[in-house]
Amino acid sequence: MCGIVGYIGTQTAKEILLAGLERLEYRGYDSAGIATVVDGKIHSIRSKGKLHKLREKAEKELILSKAGIGHTRWATHGKPEEHNAHPHMDNNNRIAVVQNGIIENYQNLKEKLSSKGYQFLSETDTEVIPNLIADLLPSPNSDTDLIYPSPLFKAVLESIKLLDGAFAMAIISSDYPDELMVVRQQAPIVLGFGQGEFFCASDVTALVPYTSTVLSLENGEIARLTPLGVEIYDFSGHRLKKIPHLLDWNPMSVEKQGFRHYMLKEIYEQPSVVRNCLEKYINKDWNPNKNLNCNPINLNLSPELYENLEQINILACGTSWHASLVGRYLLEKLANIPTRVQYASEFRYAPSPITANTLTIGVTQSGETADTLAALETEKQRRKDTNSIYKSRLIGITNRPETTLATIVDQIIDTQAGIEIGVAATKTFLAQLMAFYFLAIDLGYRRQTLSGGEIQLIIDGFRQLPEKIEEILKTQERRIQELAHNYLEAKDFIFVGRGINFPIALEGALKLKEISYIHAEGYPAGELKHGPIALLDSKVTVVSIAMAGKVYDKAISNAQEAKARDAHLIGVVSTNDTNATLTFDDLLPIPEVDELLSPMLTVIPLQILSYHIAAKRGLDVDQPRNLAKSVTVE
């Protein structure tokens, strides 16, 4: 939610800020702005709408300032209008602030500042911050308080102590043009270290072209960036010693590389994501016939996490929640371990009863979803002082192991998917599924619920998956692109699946609605007759996942029930299912695959179909309206 950038150094700030915002646009894109100090005054440019509007405005001006801040917004308080866009300034234009998060007590602070004569020009919560700082900032000629590195630092520090909520922010002042202040309290922000230049950004994606030396601020930390270096303090004003680390990212990973949209690029990256995961987590020494003491899967999780395990509890949101539903199926079926999946946003305020010997798993592609992090914190906290059987054991499943998630959980399973930029999750979903397969096999091996032969069969099946995904991309992408034409005016879709493919029906529906804005629902196929069937007529399309396996016949019967009500039917079926045309009007065929592994393939044509319907409708596939990739507010 919202992207922040900041720069101080030797180059002209404007272009670095705009380019940084472009790389953060996936976090929010309803309005944007930048602020720099020009001739001793704050100079700000703001614009409603997507970033190119801001760029058009900014390019008309020559701004030579070498420090500045920028923001791309996902509205919380106040409509997406220019006057609500960040940066926000104090009444005398001495301070500019960009903020990501929510200031919960802003009304109260606003009243206090108003009673002192301050005026507010926006409906945002953020606008109180520059005014609070200005109120506490001495005039440039007053005596300096030597306890603090600068008067601006002191005013910022005193102001943030008055704020309730979760936030990350960057601040500049016309009185102190050689300082950039950066604050973190429960919302992500990372610092970048260059040669005589320093950066801050909500995500490392914005920094990758400039530096690979980075440091994530932690909650309750404030950084003072000057052209000479970076100082980090806690909220009590004590200086902290922190060591940046090197990021091993290829700048190309955040480029479109010739694809029209990031989403399509990320769909095409899926075979290599699966290969990377296999390479990383399948133990090369594993041989079911020779060495029975060698674990087939190498997740490197500490043994305490597994000890006397009785239950697993998974917390996630959105697409990660769908991956977790597949995870539950696998953990229960392969490792015979009772597993619960909860919406993180619900768990925080209505946690399930505390259970003994429970492993809690947080699943999040961004590693920053506020609800998921808060739910994990809740779980950790409530188990803190309990008897050892209730002690928390937390793991995180993510493709972003460097994010806040890692600071909360005991260990991370890195899904090896790398950064994903398209707002609609694709490759990260597939990678999360893989993490669950591996965890379930690992637990199945340890708990002896799976034989060596069974494990080998699953692994053999897995090894064939990258080529099978490639085959779908090669033989079906074009065909699905043409098929998408028929659905451009569609109003309602119902996706149905059974067993392990029920969550894929949910995910198929979510993909379609989030990027094409067509109404779509996902249901367990057997539930169609308990309500949704009333909606069916010739204008409704039913997408049925009907893969060979034990639920195939039932899936076909459910599809026939929909056909009898005149619904238009699309079937996700095996290429060798010669009877499929008897039931379905259109087919999304995929290579033959064992039912247990089928979600790894059934989701692919659904991603492609959603992509092409949305692209043909002329919509912004990578940045669908009202959504954001990283939801850092609750």
CA gyration radius, the chain: 26
User: 2 an active-site residue?
Assistant: yes
Closest by CA position to 277, among listed 128, 397, 451, 118: 397
Nearer to ligand G6P, 25 or 175 (CB): 25
Among 366, 399, 426, 598, binds ligand G6P (CB under 6 A): 366
Nearer to ligand G6P, 42 or 604 (CB): 604
Active-site option among 14, 265, 468, 629: 629
**Count of residues making up the chain:** 634
What one-character DSSP code corresponds to residue 424?
S
Closest by CA position to 421, among listed 592, 622, 240, 620: 622
Distance CA 274, CA 297 (A): 15
627 binds ligand G6P (CB under 6 A): yes
**Structure tokens, 396:** 């995180």
Among 23, 261, 568, 629, binds ligand G6P (CB under 6 A): 629
423 binds ligand G6P (CB under 6 A): yes
Amino acid occupying residue 118? Y
- Residue 572 Cβ vs ligand G6P, minimum distance, rounded to whole Å: 21
369 binds ligand G6P (CB under 6 A): yes
DSSP string, 448-466: T-S-HHHHHHHHHHHHHHH
318 binds ligand G6P (CB under 6 A): yes
Among 36, 324, 342, 364, binds ligand G6P (CB under 6 A): 364
Q: What is the 3-class SS of 176-223, one letter each residue?
A: CCCCEEEEEEECCCEEEECCCCEEEECCHHHCCCCCCEEEECCCCEEE
- Residue 439 Cβ vs ligand G6P, minimum distance, rounded to whole Å: 17
Distance CA 440, CA 36 (A): 52
Distance CA 35, CA 67 (A): 9
- Residue 27 Cβ vs ligand G6P, minimum distance, rounded to whole Å: 10
Distance CA 468, CA 406 (A): 33
- Residue 75 Cβ vs ligand G6P, minimum distance, rounded to whole Å: 15
Distance CA 534, CA 17 (A): 53
Nearer to ligand G6P, 19 or 627 (CB): 627
159 binds ligand G6P (CB under 6 A): no
Query: Residues near 55 by Cβ (< 8 Å), separated by ≥ 6?
Result: 18
Distance CA 602, CA 504 (A): 7
- Residue 362 Cβ vs ligand G6P, minimum distance, rounded to whole Å: 8
What angle separates helix 128-136 from helix 106-115, to the nearest 10 degrees? 50
- Residue 50 Cβ vs ligand G6P, minimum distance, rounded to whole Å: 17
567 binds ligand G6P (CB under 6 A): no
Query: Residues near 38 by Cβ (< 8 Å), separated by ≥ 6?
Result: 63, 64, 65
Distance CA 399, CA 429 (A): 10
Active-site option among 2, 200, 277, 317: 2
Number of residues that bind ligand G6P (CB under 6 A): 14
Nearer to ligand G6P, 197 or 368 (CB): 368
86 binds ligand G6P (CB under 6 A): no
- Residue 372 Cβ vs ligand G6P, minimum distance, rounded to whole Å: 5
- Residue 430 Cβ vs ligand G6P, minimum distance, rounded to whole Å: 13
Q: Which stretch binds ligand G6P (CB under 6 A): 51-59, 97-105, 534-542, 624-632?
A: 624-632
List % helix, strand, coil for the chain (3-state, nearest 5).
40, 25, 40
Distance CA 535, CA 567 (A): 9
C-beta separation of 562 from 533 below 8 A: yes
Q: Which stretch binds ligand G6P (CB under 6 A): 362-370, 454-462, 478-486, 548-556?
A: 362-370
Q: Which stretch binds ligand G6P (CB under 6 A): 18-26, 213-221, 251-259, 313-321?
A: 313-321
Nearer to ligand G6P, 222 or 317 (CB): 317
- Residue 344 Cβ vs ligand G6P, minimum distance, rounded to whole Å: 8
Q: Which stretch binds ligand G6P (CB under 6 A): 173-181, 358-366, 448-456, 484-492?
A: 358-366
User: 57 an active-site residue?
Assistant: no
365 binds ligand G6P (CB under 6 A): yes
Q: Which stretch binds ligand G6P (CB under 6 A): 98-106, 227-235, 361-369, 476-484?
A: 361-369
274 burial via Cβ count (<10 Å: 0-12, 13-18, 19+): buried
Among 593, 601, 631, 633, binds ligand G6P (CB under 6 A): 631
**Structure tokens, 246:** 């090197």
Nearer to ligand G6P, 331 or 628 (CB): 628
Catalytic sites, residue numbers: 2, 629
**Binding residues for ligand G6P (CB under 6 A):** 317-320, 364-366, 369, 372, 423, 425, 627, 629, 631
